[in-house]
Amino acid sequence: MHGCVVLVVDATTGVGRRVTSQLCALGAAVAVVGAGHPGRDDDAATNAAFLCKELAGIGLVALPYQADVERPESFRALTGQIAADLGQVTASVVVVPSASGGEGPVQAFRVASGVVAASLPAGAEHIEVDVSGQGFSLEEAAQSVVERLVRLHEQWRTPSG
């Protein structure tokens, strides 16, 4: 996955954290957004910074970014910031939380996902992972996303024709 820059939203817990760690281990540069969950008492930006520091400590490339799912416009400028820091975004992953916290957070993440998708450069892949009712374990869901991105990366690297 060397040369691949992936934006992962809700990257600090659950599926997002697993996807981030696996992509980094495969050589991708990952833009980590700890998007914060409405009503949850944590600091998403701090969580993202700690995860990036942990990954850098083992020689992997991840940088923290801040956005707020309750302010979807905060996602519009992310791809430009990431391009300046890491290179053009080749894929994005947005993890939509389970509905156990209510429909408000789910809807907020879906709106943010749409903003992220619309801000990607032409040809970049967007994956929205809805963790409610999948029947997958977190590990299986993360593995499925990573395998899809690896296949896409192989296609990007292989000249057509």
Chain centroid offset of residue 54 CA: 17
Which pTM does this prediction carry?
A: 0.87
Q: Give yes or no for residue 161 having a pLDDT over 50.
A: no
Model pLDDT, residue 101 = 60
Nearest CA-CA partner of 9 in 104, 113, 79, 86: 113
Chain centroid offset of residue 25 CA: 15
- 104-159: per-residue pLDDT in tens? 778 888 999 999 999 999 999 999 988 776 666 778 888 888 899 999 888 766 65
The fourth-level CATH superfamily of domain 5-157 is NAD(P)-binding Rossmann-like Domain (3.40.50.720)
The better pLDDT of the pair 44, 161 is held by 44
Residues whose CB falls within 8 Å of the CB of residue 17, separated by 6 or more in sequence, listed in order: 11, 51
The edge-to-edge listing of strands for the beta sheet with 5-9 is: 62-65, 29-33, 5-9, 91-96, 125-130
Nearest CA-CA partner of 61 in 88, 15, 23, 98: 23
Question: Where do the structural domains in the chain lie, given as residue ranges?
Answer: 5-157
Model pLDDT, residue 139 = 84
- 41-89: per-residue pLDDT in tens? 567 778 888 889 999 999 988 999 988 888 888 888 899 999 999 999 9
Model pLDDT, residue 26 = 93
